[in-house]
Amino acid sequence: MNILYDEHLDGPLPKVDKQALLQALQAQIPDLDILHREEDLKPYECDGLSAYRTTPMLVVLPRRVEQVQALLKLCHGQNVPVVARGAGTGLSGGALPLASGVLLVMARFNQILHIDPDARTARLQPGVRNLAISQAAAPFGLYYAPDPSSQIACSIGGNVAENAGGVHCLKYGLTVHNLLQLEILTIEGERLTLGSEALDSPGLDLLALFTGSEGLLGVITEVTVKLLPRPQVAKVLLASFDSVDKAGRAVADIIAAGIIPGGLEMMDNLAIRAAEDFIHAGYPVDAEAILLCELDGVEADVHDDCERVRQVLEQAGATEVRQARDEAERLRFWAGRKNAFPAVGRLAPDYYCMDGTIPRRALPEVLQRIASLGAEHGLRVANVFHAGDGNMHPLILFDANQPGELERAETLGGKILELCVQVGGSITGEHGVGREKINQMCTQFNSDELNLFHAVKAAFDPQGLLNPGKNIPTLHRCAEFGAMHIHGGQLPFPELERF
Residues 468-497 interacting with a second copy (rule: CB under 8 A): 471-472, 487-488
Is residue 100 a contact residue for a second copy (CB under 8 A)? no
Is residue 119 a contact residue for a second copy (CB under 8 A)? yes
Is residue 456 a contact residue for a second copy (CB under 8 A)? yes
Stretch that binds a second copy, among 5-13, 40-48, 335-343, 441-449 (CB under 8 A): 441-449
Residue (of 410, 377, 408) closest to 5 by Cα position: 410
In the bound state with a second copy, the residue whose beta carbon lies nearer, of 183 and 350, is: 183
User: In this structure, which amino acid lies at residue 488?
Assistant: G
SS3 409: helix
SS3 222: strand
Count of chain residues binding a second copy (CB under 8 A): 79
Q: Which of residues 217-236 bind a second copy (CB under 8 A)?
A: 229
CA distances 415 to 25, 292, 367, 396, 408, Å, are 45, 28, 13, 12, 11
SS3 440: coil
Which runs of consecutive H residues, i.e. helices, occur in 124-262? 130-137, 156-162, 169-172, 206-210, 244-256
| Residue 356 β-bridge partners | 392
SS3 130: helix
Cβ neighbors of 364 (< 8 A, separation 6 or more) are 244, 245, 248, 249
> Given candidates 6, 40, 190, 307, which one binds a second copy under the rule CB under 8 A?
190
Residue (of 320, 235, 237, 329) closest to 280 by Cα position: 329
Q: Which of residues 232-271 bind a second copy (CB under 8 A)?
A: 252, 255-256, 258
In the bound state with a second copy, the residue whose beta carbon lies nearer, of 54 and 391, is: 391
Q: How far is the CB of 95 from a second copy (least distance, A)?
A: 16
> Given candidates 358, 363, 379, 478, which one binds a second copy under the rule CB under 8 A?
358
- Report the alpha-carbon distance of residue 439 to residue 50 in Å, rounded: 18
In the bound state with a second copy, the residue whose beta carbon lies nearer, of 45 and 253, is: 253
Stretch that binds a second copy, among 189-197, 328-336, 337-345, 476-484 (CB under 8 A): 189-197
In the bound state with a second copy, the residue whose beta carbon lies nearer, of 273 and 435, is: 435
Q: How far is the CB of 165 from a second copy (least distance, A)?
A: 7
DSSP notation for 18-47:
HHHHHHHHHHHSTT-EEE-SHHHHGGGS--
In the bound state with a second copy, the residue whose beta carbon lies nearer, of 377 and 435, is: 435
Is residue 359 a contact residue for a second copy (CB under 8 A)? yes
Give the angle subtended at the CA of 489 by the CAs of 487 and 494, to the nearest 5°.
110
Q: How far is the CB of 464 from a second copy (least distance, A)?
A: 14
In the bound state with a second copy, the residue whose beta carbon lies nearer, of 127 and 297, is: 297
Q: Which of residues 283-322 bind a second copy (CB under 8 A)?
A: 297-298, 300-301, 304
Going residue by residue from 362 to 401, which x/- string records binding to a second copy, judged by CB under 8 A? ---------------------------xxx----------
In the bound state with a second copy, the residue whose beta carbon lies nearer, of 50 and 186, is: 186
Which runs of consecutive H residues, i.e. helices, occur in 339-446? 340-345, 363-376, 405-422, 441-444
> Given candidates 69, 100, 159, 163, which one binds a second copy under the rule CB under 8 A?
163
- For residue 134, count other CB atoms closer than 10 A to its CB: 19
In the bound state with a second copy, the residue whose beta carbon lies nearer, of 268 and 461, is: 461
In the bound state with a second copy, the residue whose beta carbon lies nearer, of 305 and 350, is: 305
DSSP notation for 414-433:
HHHHHHHHHTT-BS-SSS--
